[in-house]
Structure 1
Amino acid sequence: MTPPAPGCSAPRRDAVVAAARESIAKGSKSFAAASKLFDPTTRERAWLLYAWCRACDDIADGQEHGHDASVVADPAAALARIRTLTDRALAGEWTGEMPFDALRIVAQETRMPHRFAHDLIEGFALDAKGWFPRSESDLMQYCYHVAGAVGCMMAVVMGVDPQDDATLDRACDLGLAFQLANIARDIEADDRIGRCYLPMDWMVEMDIPPGQHMKPPFRARLTVMARWLGEFAQAHEESARHGTPALGFRSAWAVLAAAGIYGGIAREVVARGNHGWDHRASTSKAQKLGWIARAFAQSAMRRRLYPPEPRPATLWTRPR
């Protein structure tokens, strides 16, 4: 699809917000539930940012609202489209495409650093060239690009100073935790489209031949690697919680709810053991409500529950 020529007329903000709200409702029930806890302004900006992220992911993966990923016929063309429309939006142009106009709005309203958007696109670039991780460090670098950078952008949406690296590191941690949970949940789905985010070092350690990790003889070993992903996710989730005292009550409530809801996905995969991929792991409506209630109490007590302390030196740290 050829992007429209520059000079598109400005859309109504409320129309873009309405479309962004529909995008998050279709794309992620977990994030949609957590977003309702924000104050109205932050909520709308979170929807706008989500709409852009969702559209980029859908273009890159040949899917719709995060579902039914397929092999993209021309990954380079898809990536070029993402870059072109994103650059135009960040330059202050109206693109005529709702998700990218949503990015234009939220970037200008929050003075969001453009580097985070570019960092996210680099994650799609890795996928476009058929990249796979050789080491844990490679895995974490990828997780930063596709999710940690989004955590940093969301922190700015919630009012965090773009120069506050300590809080941005904690926000990045939550994005890393979410992506590690995604990888654990989607091992089978990724395998179907020829992708694997399990580090080659792990495969060698577990004596699994390349491309064979979903075969029945290796299921018990795959379960071990899923547990490692879950442990990494848990460590980064716990670190992220210590960033919530820097947020207002409602933003902290939303973040803590999302941490619990999404963290539950990785925990469910691990708990299922060899049956972790029989059907897609998710959290029920009752579980979401439970996490929202717990997060309310956690947000009220966040300064006592998550006091200032150095971020664990053992955790992977985002690039500056």
Structure 2
Amino acid sequence: MNRALLVVAMIAAPVSVAAEPAFGWRAPLKCPGIDDVRARVERRLGGAIEGAVRGVEIEITRDGNHFVAQIDARALTVANDVRTLRSARCDELADAVAVVIARLASDVRAAEPKPHAAPPKQEAAFIADTRGPDETVRRDAVLEKAPPLRHTWGGGMRLLALSGIGALPRINLGGELAGYVRYKRHILELAVGRWVPQSARLDPGAPARVDVGLDVVTLRGGWGPEELPIRAWLSGELGSMSGEGMSVVDPRTESGRWVAVGGGFGVAWPMTEHARLVGTFELAIPLFRTTFMLQNGADLYQPAPAAARCALGLEFGWR
């Protein structure tokens, strides 16, 4: 009798040892069942769940109008990995749980050591290397991008359309042609500009007026590195203002000096190797302000204490 019991116990012992379940699922009745969730995980894994997931515990509870899922994956990741998900619908929450479990399984598979591939057989044939020692290329060498070549000198020309206020009446429009040289980070520039004459009237609507124009030569010096598109400078201007009387008793053309100092900054955005789109802003303060007046002493126009300009154009040359 004892022998019979022993035999029965030995036969039953293997049967009583069950494999560890892939995951535990505890959820309200309205939520998908464990078989449904298993199918969702396997669809995302692209295969059976056995062997990919083990020991994950999932518990879904209600929290007001939402469902809360707590995923305990510490048995799978051997870390304090407990995640919490929320959703208004339990079906959506089950989808999210399936995504998390599939992702955990993929991470565990990726972390498993890969079997080492056998080294390929070496062929008996040999090829002579005719390259010199300086031409030998190592297969494990890392190619690095060579730093851009910097030039000590640079130069070019620039053509700009100008817009501003302060020097002439109302909004000022003009053009400028400039040539520049660069030495390392320093720039020196000479420019000539002409502003379109603008009208200043003695009284609004009155026919008597003076048309004021400006021709100016500008010298600029400042900072403009080759490797950056930005520039900044100080400037000095010397020019001539002209005023032509219109609809007055004694029409005549008068002129006066324009002397100003200022500064500005600009951006030269590369379009090609030798062409750039240029935008600048500059402020000029006149040291002498010519006043245009009628014969009776009535003032017609005097420049503002400061003139502001912006410009847009093209530049050609070597930075």
TM range (shorter): under 0.3
Between 1 and 2, higher relative CO (CA 8 Å, sep ≥ 6) is seen in 1
Q: TM-score, normalising length from structure 1?
A: 0.19
- Structure index of larger Rg: 2
- If the length of structure 2 is used for normalisation, what is the TM-score? 0.19
Higher helix share: 1
